[in-house]
Amino acid sequence: MLKVLILLGLVLAGAAHANPSGTLRVIDADTVDVGGLRVRLFGLDAPEIGQPCVLGGQTIDCGRWAGDLVRARFGGQDARCTTRDVDRYGRQVATCDVGGVDMGQVIVAEGWAVAYRRYSMIYDLDEKAAVLAARGLWAMTMDAPESFRAARNAAPAAPDLACNIKGNISGNGRIYHRPGNRDYDRTVIDEGRGERWFCSEADARAAGWRAARN
């Protein structure tokens, strides 16, 4: 039995860190499907779908714009990817070779995404060249994708500062989060779904919520 569990663990570990290969389908400018696996391209960060940028006085959806350009350049081609990590969403974080070129390097060099220096400097010089040439995003006015996501995902403050306990409903049930809990800041209360604010833990427990573990 122990041998079976060990073998199963090795199989699962191998699947989690697979090197995807096959026909490439573009989801957006930094996310693709390769051989049935979802891949987050390593070392770069693309604008989000719905993220506004200003080009020549006109506002465009630069996430969709960038995704369309990556799709036109790489979509439907064969890719061989090298996985470096697996992210919290279960995606392979990988560099991908398409037709003998590093896909991520092309994307950053063309200005369709930014170098994600928080994780790697691999495309630092490619971005600097794109900036100097005012290519792609660097011809526009935009927020860094990471800054845009942070502003979009920022949870609103409690309507009453004395009632700042968040009663969240998820697949794990009814859970309340106190200030200082790990997930407090990213938990957003949707009162239309029955979620609510509480003034005390006693109130939350009496209403059927349980405390978050972290």
Q: Look at residue 170 in the predicted model and tell me its pLDDT.
A: 86
**Is residue 126 domain-shared with residue 177, that is, in the same domain?**
no
**Is residue 49 domain-shared with residue 76, that is, in the same domain?**
yes
State how beta strands 37-41 and 44-45 pair: unpaired
Q: Look at residue 183 in the predicted model and tell me its pLDDT.
A: 84
In the chain, the number of structural domains is 2
Q: What is the CATH number of the domain that holds 109?
A: 2.40.50.90
**Is residue 87 domain-shared with residue 189, that is, in the same domain?**
no
CA distance 127 to 142: 15
Low-confidence ranges of the chain (pLDDT < 50): 1-14
101 within 8 A of 28, measured Cβ to Cβ? no
9: its two tokens: 């663990």
Q: Look at residue 89 in the predicted model and tell me its pLDDT.
A: 86
Residue 18 lies in a domain: yes
Q: Look at residue 93 in the predicted model and tell me its pLDDT.
A: 98
Identify the domain containing residue 203 by its residue range. 154-211
Single-letter residue type at 130: A
**Is residue 97 domain-shared with residue 64, that is, in the same domain?**
yes
CA distance 18 to 94: 10
- Within 10 angstroms of residue 144's Cβ, the number of other Cβ atoms is 13
Q: Look at residue 188 in the predicted model and tell me its pLDDT.
A: 84
**Is residue 132 domain-shared with residue 173, that is, in the same domain?**
no
pLDDT tens for residues 8-30? 343 344 456 789 999 999 999 99
87 within 8 A of 40, measured Cβ to Cβ? yes
